[in-house]
Amino acid sequence: MDVTGVPSKDRPGQERAAGALWQAAPCPVVVADAGGRVLELNEAAARLFPRAEPGASLGAMMPGWLAEAHRTAAASGAEGEPVWGRVGERSFDALPTRTPDGDTAWWLVEDTDRRQAEIALSRERGRTALLADESYAMLSALTVDRCLEVTARLAAEHLADAVVILPAASRQRLPAVFALRGGTVHRRTVPDDSAEVPGLTEALQGFPPTSSRWIDPGGLPSWAVPEEFDGPVGAVVVTPLPGHGIPEGALILLRRGDESGFSRNDEVFARLFAARAGAALSAARAYAERTEVMTILTREMLPPQLHRVHRVDIAGGYRASVRSELIGGDFYDVHPGEDEGAESLVILGDVCGKGLEAAVTTFKIRNMLRALLPVAGDHYRLLSLLNAALLTTESTRFATLVLASAVRDGDRVRLRLTSAGHPPPLIVRSGGVVEEAPTRGSLIGAMTDVHATTVRVDLGPGETCVLYTDGITEARGGPLGDVMFGEERLKDALSECGGMPAEAVVERVQMLAAEWAGNRDHDDMAVVAISGPHTGSPTAAVRRANDEEIRR
């Protein structure tokens, strides 16, 4: 571009040799003196500035940004800095060069196409980023409410000045969701009158969208405009939120009166945005419905909260394997005796297998046991009946169980313990000695014959009987890796638990086993501790608090 170095003598026949180059340059060139007077312009410049001619003032003929740049350059006495500006619809880089006479030649290099391509690219990048954001936000929004909120917020941020989302009419009357750019998202019930907004009924039924040019912004009913929306509505887009097979609702985008309407491009993009939002809404709805079913089912299946039953302390803890759901094959239950003098039945069991199917079997066994409570005075008979009942069901699953009947007698707790194929209960004596209750029996639901021995154990104050499932002892891990927690470690841990309250024993066992497993997953773990409470009489305040707790 630099032509000032071309010696003028190489261009004979021209007064100003360089001038010929300017004349022939494909881009507009304007030469002006330090005073801002136009000296020369080439043909391209004359086409660009039809009113300009030599002798006129630069400021009068040319855009202000160029005149300003020229003044700055002249004032500094230097060549000047390249500048950029618009001439009508077009845009140019203006590059100054110094002529040998000390004047300034402005070379105007057009970049209209490049600029527009850049603008288009940046807009597309913005849209891609928005779609990426939308996808992430939507995939993380597993509830319908949250999905609607995210859709409204993103649309108000990027697509329009205000947004209204109407959930599909086939759904129960959900409130419409409103959002303003930079404002909050809120919900309001709207009249069931979609016909007032052109194209809305169609969108709610999943028909293709109506072009925004056919919608009269002035004809919108007031309910379809957010309350805080200031100024008249200038343009409206109504687009469906298509779900998986059924429409999820409609998205209404509003722009203010004084702003440009929606281009064809905008509308296409809005549809793309809405398609994703609709799919996410459908997925969230499906997830929410399944979760609700799960919640209702598991509510009955979760182990009960335990505390104190007829002056016997009972605590239980259950940790499902992380892989599975909150429910699994381990369970425990406590059935309080009719009064303080009657035995309460504590059951802890483990159904073979994992997952929902094991949970269903667990649920059945717990219900059968409840029905068999009248025979709980005879553990063997109870187990035989349960075994027979299980064998008649289609399930091929079997279970191991421990039964513990407990009753307070003076300051002692009298226990009858029966294991049916289950690890025997451990008794923690107050001195820290850990005994294994010598009860053995066959597992339940596998063979027609059942055998089991019941043992009697007494607990003194602060002594504890611990029932546990093999998820505890079979947890693999430890400081050096793949080692089983094992019964010996459990007994060792329990030997430090003499005199501890039942809850503390349960928590300690759970904690040690879970810490042993560390980051590895473990099987379901269940622990129940039955303790002889410390003697000493509760004061009036405590008794009242306990009574209140029982009532609630």
The contact set with other proteins (CB under 8 A) reads 132-133, 136-137, 140-143, 145-146, 149-150, 153, 184-185, 287, 291, 295, 319, 322, 326, 462, 478-481, 496-501, 503-504, 507-508, 511, 514-515, 534, 536-539, 541-542, 544-546, 548-549, 552
User: CA 459, CA 470: separation in Å to the nearest integer?
Assistant: 24
Q: How far is the CB of 285 from other proteins (least distance, A)?
A: 13
Q: 9-32 burial string, b = 16+ CB within 10 Å, else e?
A: eeeeeeebbbbbbbbebebbbbbb
Q: How far is the CB of 230 from other proteins (least distance, A)?
A: 19
Q: Give the relative orientation of helices 144-158 and 264-301 as an angle to the nearest 10 degrees.
A: 160
Q: How far is the CB of 293 from other proteins (least distance, A)?
A: 12
Task: Give the list of residues 6+ apart from residue 452 with CB closer than 8 angstroms, or none.
Answer: 379, 380, 383, 418, 419, 420, 439, 440, 441, 442
Smallest CA-to-CA distance from 9 within 100, 105, 97, 107 is with: 100
Do 250 and 203 meet the contact criterion of CB atoms below 8 Å apart? Answer: yes
Q: 323: number of CA atoms within 13 Å, CB side?
A: 9
Q: How far is the CB of 95 from other proteins (least distance, A)?
A: 40
The residue type of 419 is S
Smallest CA-to-CA distance from 426 within 486, 466, 375 is with: 466
Q: 195 vs 480, which CB is nearer to other proteins?
A: 480
Judged by DSSP in three states, 93 sits in: strand
User: CA 541, CA 547: separation in Å to the nearest integer?
Assistant: 10
Q: How far is the CB of 29 from other proteins (least distance, A)?
A: 48
Neighbours of 114 (CB within 10 A): 11
Q: 136 vs 214, which CB is nearer to other proteins?
A: 136
Q: 397 vs 489, which CB is nearer to other proteins?
A: 489
Q: How far is the CB of 350 from other proteins (least distance, A)?
A: 21
Q: 240 vs 499, which CB is nearer to other proteins?
A: 499
Smallest CA-to-CA distance from 381 within 418, 426, 422, 340 is with: 418
Scan for tokens 């296409």, then name that residue.
268
Q: How far is the CB of 369 from other proteins (least distance, A)?
A: 27
CA distances from 316 to 302, 442, 504, 505, 528 (A): 12, 24, 10, 10, 4
Q: How far is the CB of 149 from other proteins (least distance, A)?
A: 7
Do 251 and 219 meet the contact criterion of CB atoms below 8 Å apart? Answer: no
φ and ψ at residue 295, rounded to 5 degrees: -60, -45
Q: 101 vs 515, which CB is nearer to other proteins?
A: 515
Two structure tokens written together for 38: 């136009």
Indicate the Cα dihedral angle 136, 142, 143, 149, nearest 10°. -10
Q: How far is the CB of 363 from other proteins (least distance, A)?
A: 20
Question: What is residue 517's DSSP assignment?
Answer: H
Q: Where are the beta strands (DSSP E) in 211-325?
A: 233-242, 247-256, 308-309, 312-319
Q: 47 vs 534, which CB is nearer to other proteins?
A: 534
What is the torsional sign of CA 77, 81, 82, 85?
Answer: negative
Q: How far is the CB of 342 from other proteins (least distance, A)?
A: 25
Q: 41 vs 165, which CB is nearer to other proteins?
A: 165
Q: 145 vs 340, which CB is nearer to other proteins?
A: 145
Q: How far is the CB of 511 from other proteins (least distance, A)?
A: 5
Do 34 and 57 meet the contact criterion of CB atoms below 8 Å apart? Answer: no
Q: How far is the CB of 61 from other proteins (least distance, A)?
A: 49
Q: 8 vs 495, which CB is nearer to other proteins?
A: 495
Q: 49 vs 485, which CB is nearer to other proteins?
A: 485
- What would the DSSP string read from start to end of 300-339? HHSPPP--EETTEEEEEEEE--SSS-S--SEEEEEE--SS
Scan for tokens 């304007």, then name that residue.
30
Q: 264 vs 543, which CB is nearer to other proteins?
A: 543
CA diameter of the chain: 131
Q: How far is the CB of 531 from other proteins (least distance, A)?
A: 11
Q: 89 vs 548, which CB is nearer to other proteins?
A: 548
Q: 234 vs 461, which CB is nearer to other proteins?
A: 461
